[in-house]
A = this chain, B = another copy of it.
Amino acid sequence: MERIIATYYIETPYALEKAAQVLAGEQSSGTFVAVPGETEELKERFAARVESIEHLETVDTAAIPGAESKTGNYHRAIIKVSWSIENFGYNLPVLVSTLQGNLYEITQFTGLKLMDIDLPESFSKHYAGAKFGIDGCRQLTNIYNRPLIGTIIKPSIGLSIQQTADIVKTLAEAGIDFIKDDELLSSSANSNFNDRVEAVMKVINTHADKTGKKVMFAFNISGEVDEMMQRYETIVNAGGTSAMVSINSVGLSATKKICDQGQLAIHAHRNGWGMMTRHPLLGIDFNAYQKLWRLVGVDQLHVNGIQNKFWESDDSVVASIESLKKPFYHHKNILPVVSSGQWGGQAFETYRRTNTVDLLYMAGGGIMAHPMGAGAGVVALQQAWKAAVDGLSLEEAAKLYPEFAKSVEKFGTK
């Protein structure tokens, strides 16, 4: 029978074998005393199994509150635990409740992070994965052999619909490939969702009729299920190609329903993610997280960016992009969304470390606040990526390309 294997980074004051057994017990037959009906045969079939324990180090301070160590020692290890597919069937929320769930409550652990999930082959028959993915997003935007260049409508919140449409017009004429709502905006007092879609798509469709280039706009449909379905339809009817979902806020089940519609590329915004991963010994690692969302079927997923304005290290960002580059069954690979404080200068390091142009490369202020205007901002980003792929340094690129040189002047010292 196929098994699902989860890899955890744990810390415990107890013997590692004992702690691992507590974890496996809690997540398959856990209660504090033996009960009738808990036969050996049943345990063999449905019990979680500790597959391996690799001791890493022993420290003298607990990472998070939990059981106190009598010896003052806390042991860190990588452990693998497996469950039979018979326990869940194909049910992602129940999978999450089993692989995460009450594990974070167990006092025997003073640290627990889900690092990876190995899912059996049969999952690929039940989950089709991304409908569009990298290839589909390239077809929808007609951009090949370089990153899609994108931006976020800023200020995040407060612009009128006319102001938004004007900015979209500026950006479309500037040659942008992708635009998105900020996650703070769905439908506000002065920017009703339906009216915004109508106004924005009118600009985009007019521009596409004239030039053949259709900008992908990810409207933020995050909301209740029926509302999201209506807004999804509104986008489809207006000729749009994408919708954005704040996946952590909306949740797994409703996001899956949206992805299942299959008519729009789904831009998955991971806001809230920091809570789940920022502590090194609590929560879930991106490597496990991205697999869940690839099963759900999103087409684009945020990974932060090199030299970002947030807490995340470059190594962590690169690891996230590498996770998304890995094949996942026969599914379409999905587009890593590189964002946060990006202006083009990071293209060199991003390309050097990831060696891919299959990215949605987002710049906010880096485009709109370019000294020569938004058009030059978009051009500067394209130049930066061409230079990076051509093996030039930032300095060489700045000598060759005037628009990019202005970006370096304005943003390069931050």
Contacts and interface: CB of A to CB of B under 8 A. Distances in A.
Interface stretch (A128-136, A179-187, A390-398): A179-187
Contacts of A123: none
Interface in A100-131: 100-107
- Highest count of chain B CB atoms <10 Å: which of A92, A228, A272, A276: A272
Contacts of A273: 104-105
Contacts of A223: 91-94, 253
Contacts of A156: 28-31
A167 interface: yes
Nearest to A254: B253
What number of copies of this chain does the assembly contain? 2
A190 B65 CA distance: 38
Interface string A244-260: 00101111111111000
A267 to B, nearest CB: 14
A91 B32 contact: no
A280 interface: yes
Contacts of A45: 158
A271 B42 contact: no
A183 B253 CA distance: 16
A146 interface: no
A225 B282 contact: no
CB-CB nearest 10 A-B residue pairs: A251-B251, A104-B274, A46-B158, A253-B254, A86-B189, A101-B271, A29-B155, A93-B249, A33-B365, A105-B310
18 contacts: A31-B152, A31-B156, A33-B369, A35-B364, A86-B190, A89-B186, A91-B222, A91-B227, A93-B223, A93-B246, A94-B249, A96-B248, A96-B249, A100-B271, A104-B275, A224-B257, A225-B256, A253-B254
A55 interface: no
Given A158-B42, A311-B65, A282 B278 contact: yes
Interface in A257-293: 257, 269, 271-276, 278-280, 282-284
A31 B157 contact: no
A284 B106 CA distance: 18
Contact of A157 (B28, B183, B272, B312): B28
A336 interface: no
A188 B29 contact: no
Interface in A199-257: 220, 222-228, 246, 248-257
A190 to B, nearest CB: 7
Nearest to A22: B309
A285 to B, nearest CB: 12
A154 interface: yes
Contact of A32 (B88, B189, B309): B309
A310 B88 contact: no
Given A31-B365, A94-B185, A105-B304, 5 more contacts: A33-B411, A37-B163, A64-B278, A92-B223, A224-B257
Contacts of A410: 33
A368 interface: yes
A291 B226 CA distance: 22
Nearest to A256: B224
A174 to B, nearest CB: 13
Given A32-B309, A253-B223, A253-B224, A274 B155 contact: no
B91 A34 contact: no
A306 to B, nearest CB: 14
A385 to B, nearest CB: 20
